[in-house]
Structure 1
Amino acid sequence: MRKLYIGNKNYSSWSMRPWVLMKQADIPFEEVKVRFDSFAPDSHFKKTMGAINPVAEVPALVDGDLVVWDTLAIAEYLAETFPEKQLWPRAAAERARARSICAEMHAGFGKLRSLCPMNIEASLAEVGARLLKDNPALQADLDRIVQMWSGLLEAHGGPLLFGGFSIADSYFAPVGTRIKTYGLPVPPAISAYIERVQALPGVKAWIDDALAEKDFVAFNEPYRTAR
């Protein structure tokens, strides 16, 4: 049985992506959660993950003797291993577009990721309003998300970015949680898309597990001192 190593579900957006992808696509795996204690070299987290992959990070997929780390690499490996699941869109042009936006998420949206870390359990709308007021680059990231999602939903008719579920939806699922946690204003069509994604069984299962966690990880909590 392949194993997927992940971090805390409330906080680890990169772990969420392949977990949701595999759950939603009904790809069997064993979850191995390595809780965040610290990212210092001598932390339990770093020691545990350092024994699994050379960058000592999550997520990591172990499939027999093969170890695949990095979220996008895991997604590509799964798409090649399970072609019948059609994890990327069927048409070549749509696959290229889907890969482009996933790569954009992978490398971009720096202010959204740094100022609004994923925190599914929290409700931080007042923080979100202040952050938007003080950080034009955060508003620019949000505007780009709205532009991207709106264009894809219009082009493909929904209900998801490329019609049916794909890697792209799993890749942006954590962004939807950030928008809700920080109360970031988006048009009704975008809010409706977020709700549809969060109703998917794989996404709902992750969110339910995140809400059930009891850990408070201070270095992932720039805006609170307790749950």
Structure 2
Amino acid sequence: MTISIDFEGMIKHVHVFLRRFRVIEHGTLDGVKAIVVHQTDSPTAESTFNAYLSGGNGAHFLIDKDGRIYQTASLLKRCYHVGRLIKSRCLELTPNSCSDPNLAKIKALGWSARINEIDRIERQKPYPDRFPVNSDSLGIELVGRHIDDKSFEMVTSAQNASLRWLLDALYDSFSIGADDTFRHPAISYKNPGEAAGARW
């Protein structure tokens, strides 16, 4: 699927509504290697937009419950959406065959020290040997509140349809695929139910 991206990194397509918040853009995004799917923990798109006005965290796209897609940041700019600490891809996806000697050394550390050291080790690796970080990934937010410490609202069918359309367009534009798309809790220390209902 072909989409047009202008010189400012904004998509020109009838399915994408532009609602750019420069305040959530933090420097240059040198290349897109992966995509991270999130949920907002807010009831509406407007409440998320209001939060974006204060700057700080944000993502490149927001999909409302009715399926409307908003582009909220340039595809040429970095957003803070992954989180401060990333998990070990090796330990999360292939724990029985993970042979990284640096990771083996941290087993005796306490939880807080361990996750900080995992993050330090992982950030020295290139993608895809590690999970994506803010400097090489796009973020897509789905409007939806968290229910408790393990679950979020279900993603709507309209949101999933729009998510699939958007991902297909981004895959084509950046030569990446479904293997490069992750739910936020898979790569960072988040509510495990975030984006659990997202389907692509």
Tell me the TM-score normalised to structure 2 length. 0.30
**Structure richer in strand, relative to its length:** 2
Tell me the TM-score normalised to structure 1 length. 0.28
Which one has more relative contact order, counting CA pairs under 8 Å at least 6 apart?
2
